[in-house]
Amino acid sequence: MELETIQDRYMSCLRSFVEHNSSQNPTRFHELLVRLPEVQSAAALLLESKMFYVPFLLNSAIQR
């Protein structure tokens, strides 16, 4: 499956979700799409950070 196909599927799901849950705000889907570069940038920084693993480590310690 191509990356573009996967992205299209997720965009379709997001559009459906937004239309169902934010019907009073018709520009909500566009607002979210405009924010995608910021989310991607934050996700990249988080993955590079060592702090990314702290919640997983804390959670695994609690479950023991």
- pLDDT, tens only, 4-63: 999 999 999 999 999 999 989 999 999 999 999 999 998 888 778 776 666 666 666 555
Helix or strand (DSSP H, E) at 17: helix 3-21
Report the alpha-carbon distance of residue 42 to residue 28 in Å, rounded.
21
Is the pTM for the entire model greater than 0.85? no
CA distance 20 to 26: 11
Domain ranges of the chain: 3-63
The interaxial angle of helices 3-21 and 28-48, nearest 10 deg, is 130
Assess contact for 41 and 51: CB atoms under 8 A: no
- Pair of tokens at residue 64: 């023991």
